[in-house]
Amino acid sequence: MNNKQSDGAGGNGSSKHKRHDVDAKQSSIFVIRQQYRQLTRRTSETQIEESSALNVQAMTSQKKRVSFAELVQCACFPMAKKSKQLMLVIAKNVSLYTQYEWILQRMSIAVSGEQVAASTDQKVLSRTTDNFDLKIKPDKSNNTQAHVLLSLKESQIGQSAYSKGIFLHCMQGDSFKVIHFVNVLDGQAQIVITEDSDTYDLLTSPNTKLYLC
């Protein structure tokens, strides 16, 4: 009798834990959405930059904790000065890195994971997802440059959120960069990068994950 009662109690506890985990995840997603809406109501990135200056040394000294809201703000406005400073901290902290990538997964309109390649040295010059295509083409007039071409699929064209451009988060290990496609016209956008840059290496590496936000 005691064994049966004990097993029953354990089963109920397990169910409660599962329900708790689901509720926690749903709550976190709700918080992200609420914070994103609040942030997008602000008039400009300049206001965000001027609101407070981030001291990187203080962030890494463990005396100041990076809040979940700061991570969401960093993901929403990655080109802001404060966000760029915070990314240096995120890259060196496994816990923050994991949380940041979790936020990107839920904010992004599309994700392109690691690619299958014959070797790690092989360059990946094109990617295709259900929501976008990405191609890297050499510049015929300048052999040191390459064009990065982004094409959104029909389901994503016409989104009002693209009026200020679109961000492509490139993440590989403790290295990550954000590419800002400022002008998106009819679902098409492009930028020019140099082939000897870190951005080119990340974009063409089969080990890089891409998050389009």
Instruction: Say if residue 136 is in the same domain as residue 79.
Output: no
**Each residue of 107-131: pLDDT tens digit?**
998 999 998 765 667 899 999 998 8
Q: How many domains does the chain have?
A: 2
3 belongs to a structural domain: no
Instruction: Say if residue 207 is in the same domain as residue 114.
Output: yes
Instruction: Say if residue 145 is in the same domain as residue 102.
Output: no
Q: Which two three-digit tokens encode residue 186?
A: 């009819």
At residue 109, the pLDDT reads 87
At residue 36, the pLDDT reads 54
For residue 22, which phi and psi values (nearest 5 degrees)?
A: -65, -45
Extended strands (E) in 90-156: 110-112, 126-128, 132-138, 145-152
User: Coil, helix or strand for 191?
Assistant: strand
Q: Has this prediction a pTM greater than 0.85?
A: no
User: Coil, helix or strand for 182?
Assistant: coil
Query: Among residues 156, 203, 211, 202, which one has the least CA distance to residue 175?
Result: 202
Residue where a domain stops, chosen among 81, 107, 133 = 107
Query: Among residues 155, 165, 163, which one has the least CA distance to residue 213?
Result: 165
**Each residue of 45-94: pLDDT tens digit?**
444 444 444 444 444 444 468 999 999 999 999 999 999 999 999 988 99
